[in-house]
């Protein structure tokens, strides 16, 4: 068996049923686009959650006229507090620009500082569970504190949400990948029926089962690879389309997190898993064919 035969026959198989090949590629593309979209959303949400350098337990918003240092010293006296950081208006704006370079420019046109000064409170790891809420409740009564919010619960819910999204993506991805494997299997079975006579001739001439099946394996793997690649292209088009739409009309929530595409290894995983799914589909289909007669 040589490569000329292998690739030539795989191409001949694809050409013999172009409609079924196209349908199988489209189904695989769809099967990988949906979980890919989940992965993209989850990644961006995860990026938002992970952008803070250290977990912040509480944020106190300070009256611009008040002495932020005095409030910070008062918070730091609490034995449960590990560290206190004063974030002035300018620093908050700079931080936002660094995290979201595409959106930061939009805030430059504003005459006044868009973010009030805040104090971020980090608790010690030994602090009890409700320490953040107790600290916030006390801080709300202090002079110079406009508002105080505990971040503990939100951070937990946010992380849970991202995890749920990833899980849903994986589940749906698994389900659709299984459907993709079945669609490839049926496309390969059809190709087998179309080439039944040739397979009989090859068997009678002494072709090994591996030589007979290899073009089908290759064909199905390419189908999967093409489907995965199409899913990736579609996903990138969706990402760029959303970016374009958000650049025309900024959305208060979407604009904040829709900032990055999948990293390269995750992106390359789509065609790679597609090829594996295609190969699995061909194994499923070819496994049932008789081997010696």
Partner 1 sequence: MIQVFRLCKDYGPFRHALSDVSFNVARGEFVFLTGPSGAGKSTLLKLLFREELPSSGQILVNGRNIAVLPDSQVPYFRRTLGVVFQDFKLIARKTIFENLSFVQSVLGLSHAEQKRRAYQALKRVGLHHRMNSHPGELSGGEQQRAAIALAIVNEPVLLLADEPTGNLDPVLSEEIMKLFAEINIRGTTVFVATHDIELIRRMGKRVLTIEKGQLRDRDLAREVMLAREAPFLPG
| Contact status, residue 173 vs residue 30, Cβ threshold 8 Å | no
Could you tell me which stretch among 139-147, 183-191, 193-201, 242-250 binds partner 1 (CB under 8 A)? 193-201
Among positions 19, 53, 204, 288, the unique one binding partner 1 when judged by CB under 8 A = 204
Among positions 67, 102, 160, 200, the unique one binding partner 1 when judged by CB under 8 A = 200
Minimal distance in Å, beta carbon 205 to partner 1? 4
DSSP 63: P
Rank residues 27 and 191 by Cβ distance to partner 1 and give the closer one.
191
| Contact status, residue 235 vs residue 30, Cβ threshold 8 Å | no
Determine, following the binding rule CB under 8 A, whether residue 293 of this chain makes contact with partner 1: yes
| Contact status, residue 183 vs residue 155, Cβ threshold 8 Å | no
Count of positions on this chain that bind partner 1 (CB under 8 A): 22
Among positions 2, 77, 108, 126, the unique one binding partner 1 when judged by CB under 8 A = 2
Minimal distance in Å, beta carbon 19 to partner 1? 18
Element (H, E) at 83: strand 81-87
Among positions 51, 54, 208, 247, the unique one binding partner 1 when judged by CB under 8 A = 208
What residues are paired with 58 via a beta bridge? 121, 150
Nearest residue to 119 (alpha-carbon basis) of 161, 78, 153: 78
289 vs 293: CA distance, rounded Å: 10
Could you tell me which stretch among 37-45, 87-95, 198-206, 251-259 binds partner 1 (CB under 8 A)? 198-206
Element (H, E) at 258: none
Give the number of other CB atoms < 10 A from CB of residue 253. 7
Minimal distance in Å, beta carbon 207 to partner 1? 4
* 218 phi/psi in degrees, rounded to 5: -65, -45
Rank residues 67 and 200 by Cβ distance to partner 1 and give the closer one.
200
Chain positions 9 to 48 lying near partner 1, rule: CB under 8 A, are 12
Among positions 1, 70, 164, 237, the unique one binding partner 1 when judged by CB under 8 A = 1
* 249 phi/psi in degrees, rounded to 5: -140, 105
Element (H, E) at 123: strand 118-123
Determine, following the binding rule CB under 8 A, whether residue 264 of this chain makes contact with partner 1: no
The binding site for partner 1 (CB under 8 A) comprises 1-2, 4-5, 12, 197-198, 200-209, 211-212, 291-293
């Amino acid at each position: 068996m040589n490569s000329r035969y292998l690739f030539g026959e795989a191409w001949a198989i694809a050409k013999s049923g172009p409609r079924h090949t196209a349908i199988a590629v489209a189904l695989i593309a769809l099967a990988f686009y949906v979980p890919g979209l989940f992965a993209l959303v989850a990644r961006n949400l995860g990026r938002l959650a992970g952008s803070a350098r250290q977990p912040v337990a509480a944020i106190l918003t300070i009256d611009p006229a008040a002495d932020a240092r005095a409030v910070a010293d008062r918070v730091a006296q609490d034995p449960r507090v590990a560290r206190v950081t004063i974030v002035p208006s300018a620093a908050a704006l700079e931080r936002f620009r660094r995290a979201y370079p595409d959106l930061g420019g939009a805030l430059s046109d504003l005459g006044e500082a868009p973010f009030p000064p805040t104090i971020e409170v980090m608790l010690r790891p030994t602090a009890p569970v409700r320490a953040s809420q107790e600290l916030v409740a006390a801080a709300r009564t202090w002079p110079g504190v406009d508002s105080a919010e505990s971040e503990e619960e939100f951070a937990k819910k946010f992380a849970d949400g991202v995890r749920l999204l990833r899980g849903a993506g994986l589940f749906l991805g698994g389900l659709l990948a299984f459907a993709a494997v079945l669609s490839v299997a049926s496309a390969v079975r059809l190709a087998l029926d179309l080439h039944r006579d040739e397979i009989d001739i090859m068997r009678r001439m002494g072709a090994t089962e591996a030589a007979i099946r290899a073009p089908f394996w290759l064909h199905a793997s390419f189908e999967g690879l093409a489907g995965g690649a199409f899913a990736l292209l579609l996903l990138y088009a969706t990402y760029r389309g959303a970016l374009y739409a958000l650049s025309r009309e900024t959305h208060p929530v979407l604009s904040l997190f829709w900032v990055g595409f999948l990293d390269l290894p995750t992106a390359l995983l789509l065609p790679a898993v597609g090829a594996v799914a295609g190969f699995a589909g061909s194994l499923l289909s070819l496994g049932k064919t008789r081997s010696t007669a």
